[in-house]
Amino acid sequence: MDRRDFIGGAAASGIMILSSRTAFSYEANSAVRIGLLGCGSRGTTVATSFAKNTPARIVALADLFPDQLAAAKTHFDQVNASLGVPAIDPSLMFRGSHAFEELAASKAVDSIQISTPSWFHVQHLDAAIAAGKHAYCEKPLGVDVAQTQHALEIGKRAQGRVSLDVGFQVRSAPPIAEVVRRIHAGDLGKLVCISAHYNAPNAVSHSGANWSADEFRLRNWLWDRVLSGDILVEQNIHVIDLCNWIIGAHPIKATATGGRNAVTHAGDTWDNYQVIYTYPNGVHLSFSSTQWGNNGFFDVTERVFGEKGIAEAPYSGPVRIIGDNAWEWKPEGAPASTPSATFAANGAFTDNLEFADREKDKAFIESIASGQFHNQAQAGVDSALSAMLGRMAGQLGREVTWDDQLQHGEQYQMNINMSPFG
């Protein structure tokens, strides 16, 4: 649906459309002006999607490191030129540990895309919302319990003022969205259990001749449990979020095992988890995760078992229901999906997730244009805490309940002096 169709349909259905001056602080017919905070691979991919798939424009860049900032300038100048849009103004390029504050303070920016390492998400979200900016924040919404509680407070301040989206774009992939709609409509009957897994290659390593130990940690943050939240919280959270969505609740307890048995890199993240989550009404999720090697093997799937059938929702391969209400996703004029098992570290997947970013980005910008602001803080926190619940159960080697986790008040310490990067 393009913007004219949306406005026409909204008017016909009686939805109130606010003027752009009312909905946000810039003139009518202006594009949403996005500042990208975090110019790494994933941040660049999502911002490029915003530029190409929505009326929004990338007008500002911010990053801790000058090389990433320069590479992003080159890339987005090319993207903007292809769209007939001006190049990034050098005065809207912010570098260093205070770049997020400078970006938030800029009057040339309406919305901030937060694609920094996970540890910084909540701090950067706080600055964006405090400055009255709309925010698209990558998952997770916190790496520890303390950060998630801060995120909830930020969400309260954002309510009704600005849009706050969390980057669970997999929910927006058309095949995934449709099979979940059918599950919610009762096509599986009573839900019994879910079996899911996320198997991926190791994170790419980065090295530099003159890097300090702190810079090495920051550049290789995916290897660092404090900076990333570990593989359950940083990567596997997508599957756990989908399971929460399907069930309509967060887990109430978890048991888990796992460890660091294959990887030899300098970090401290685990390379495998096996988690049993218990949800309300006795529904259980059996989840397993692996992340090592560079052989390219990649496989992500959720299988939902109900009294009337089974739903399969893989990243690659047939999305379908087997049973009383048999169905398979087949877009009009297109053949059924075939497995490709191709991992995309930047999230630019093909197959079932091909249009996930596009649809997620369009919905975020539409929420701003319509004045029907999103607030995904609670769902983002629930999924982050769900992933942390499995992590805590594995680390402690015992069952952990949702309430146990909240009472524990887990809080990580980064122990990095950011002043040299200022």
Instruction: Return the domain boundaries, the chain.
Output: 3-170, 171-353+376-408
Structure tokens at 118: 């996970």
Q: Is the model's pLDDT at 136 over the cut of 60?
A: yes
pLDDT(333) > 50: no
Q: Interior CA angle at 139 toward 219 and 270, to 5°?
A: 60
Beta-strand pair 57-63/93-95: parallel
Residue that is written with structure tokens 């997020």 in the block: 100
DSSP 375: B
DSSP codes joined into one string, 367-383: HHHHS---B-HHHHHHH
- Farthest CA pair distance, the chain: 62
pLDDT at 294 over 90: no
Give the whole-angstrom CA distance, residue 219 versus residue 202: 15
Burial letters 376-390, b for 16+ CB under 10 A, else e: bbebbbbbbbbbbbb
Identify the H or E element spanning 86: none
Mean pLDDT of 87-99: 98
Sign of CA dihedral 158, 128, 45, 83: positive
Task: From the options 3.40.50.720, 3.40.50.40, 3.10.420.10, 3.30.300.30, give the CATH code of 3-170.
Answer: 3.40.50.720
By DSSP bridging, strand 253-259 and strand 111-114 are: unpaired
Look up the pTM and report it: 0.90
Question: At residue 44, does pLDDT exceed 50?
Answer: yes
Task: Report whether pLDDT(240) > 60.
Answer: yes
**The architecture CATH gives domain 171-353+376-408:** 2-Layer Sandwich (3.30)
Residue 99 contacts by C-beta under 8 Å, 6 or more apart in sequence?
37, 62, 63, 64
- pLDDT score, position 30: 77
**φ, ψ dihedrals at 339, nearest 5°:** -60, 140
150 pLDDT band (50/70/90 cuts)? very high
pLDDT digits (tens, 9 = 90+) for 12-32: 333 333 333 334 443 445 799
Average pLDDT, integer, range 402-406:
97
When pLDDT is cut at 50, 70 and 90, the band that residue 297 belongs to is confident
Closest CA to 63 of 230, 210, 168, 218: 218
pLDDT tens digit sequence for 335-374? 444 444 454 454 444 589 999 999 999 999 999 999 999 9
The structure tokens listed for 197 are 């897994």
Mean pLDDT in residue range 55-63: 98
Q: How far apart are CA 353 and CA 350, in angstroms?
A: 6
- 378: helix, strand or coil: helix
| pLDDT score of 393 | 98
pLDDT score at 27: 42
Q: Which helix (H) or strand (E) holds 76?
A: helix 66-82
β-bridge partners, 35:
60, 112
